[in-house]
Amino acid sequence: MKMKSPSSLQIRHCFTLIELLVVIAIIAILASMLLPALNKAKQTAQNIYCTNNSKTIMQGMLLYADTYQYFPYRDIEVGNPEGRFWYQMIYGMLTGDKGNNLKFYQRSAFYKCPAYRYTGDIGYQTIAYGKNDWLGTAISASTNSPVRPEQVKRSSRVIAVGDSDDDAYFGMIIADSTYPLGNRHGGKATAAFADGHAEIVLSRDWLAPGVTYGAMDYATGTSLVHSSSSPVATTLRAPEHLCKWGARGAGYDYLTK
């Protein structure tokens, strides 16, 4: 009895299945190879966008300083029609609209960091960008005095505005210790300097000695770990570090001298 050979249709079906499995395997391999590159490209795009934000905010700072002859304080009196906090006043300078409520945050692209994952309510403790507190703390501070741009001796080295700490603790402020720069751009932060230029910096290079760096839990966007303050007194820190921030106080001034 003559055996029937498999039909060409059956043969084609078997080969098609094998080919499909091979294609799937190749796609999986390519995906595993391309994913890191895509993630890096995404991070680069976010860095560029965020750097532009920092530069825009800094332009608003300089515009404010040109108008009032000093950089904005961190916060001024409650009920001020232009807004209590520095970022509200800068919003008004850049847009011509009063920023005395939080609606400005939804309307202003330059205050939104694409890598910022905080999901809670936006407020002065959770904004994504902070101002160097040495350039003007609360207007009510007894040791505070206004800072004019021309007073800053090393303006190209003194940071003025940048990503605020990823743990969202007093996000409107950046400083070298309790309120450090964020690290959400691959361990880096975007920052603008007192002379107006902006760049990407390594966050750890701007930390005070002994600071335990806080980080946002990017899996959820809400689990936060607060950074500790430095055990090393400000006056005992390296002059190079203090010059970066323009630290000043009783008996020392690395900002205007």
- Give residue 239's pLDDT: 93
pLDDT > 90? residue 152: yes
pLDDT > 80? residue 133: yes
Count Cβ atoms within 10 A of the Cβ of residue 14 and give its class: 0-12 exposed, 13-18 middle, 19 or more buried: exposed
Distances (CA, A) of 132 to 47, 229, 251: 20, 16, 20
Q: Percent of the chain scored above 90 by pLDDT?
A: 33
Residue 204 is classified by DSSP as G
In sequence order, what are the beta bridge partners of 201? 189
pLDDT in tens, 65-120: 999 999 999 888 777 766 788 998 898 889 888 766 666 666 788 988 988 877 77
Structural contact between residues 165 and 227, judged by C-beta atoms closer than 8 angstroms: yes
- Give residue 218's pLDDT: 55
pLDDT in tens, 19-47: 777 788 888 887 777 667 666 777 788 88
Count Cβ atoms within 10 A of the Cβ of residue 6 and give its class: 0-12 exposed, 13-18 middle, 19 or more buried: exposed
Given pLDDT bands bounded at 50, 70 and 90, which one contains residue 156? very high
More confident of the two residues 96 and 163: 163
Nearest to 214 by CA among 201, 203, 202, 205: 203
Global pTM reads 0.81
Calpha distance 31→239 (Å, rounded): 48
pLDDT > 80? residue 8: no
pLDDT in tens, 197-248: 999 999 889 989 988 766 665 555 556 666 678 889 998 999 999 999 999 8
| Mean pLDDT value of segment 158-165 | 93
Nearest to 53 by CA among 185, 202, 247: 185
- Give residue 206's pLDDT: 92
pLDDT in tens, 166-207: 777 788 899 888 888 888 888 889 999 999 999 999 988 998
- Give residue 190's pLDDT: 94
Question: What residue type is assigned to position 176 of the chain?
Answer: D
- Give residue 201's pLDDT: 94
Q: In what order do the strands lie in the sheet with 129-132?
A: 173-174, 129-132, 159-163, 188-193, 198-202
- Give residue 189's pLDDT: 92
pLDDT > 60? residue 9: no
Calpha distance 57→86 (Å, rounded): 11
Angle between helices 8-68 and 86-95 (to 10 degrees): 100
In sequence order, what are the beta bridge partners of 52? none
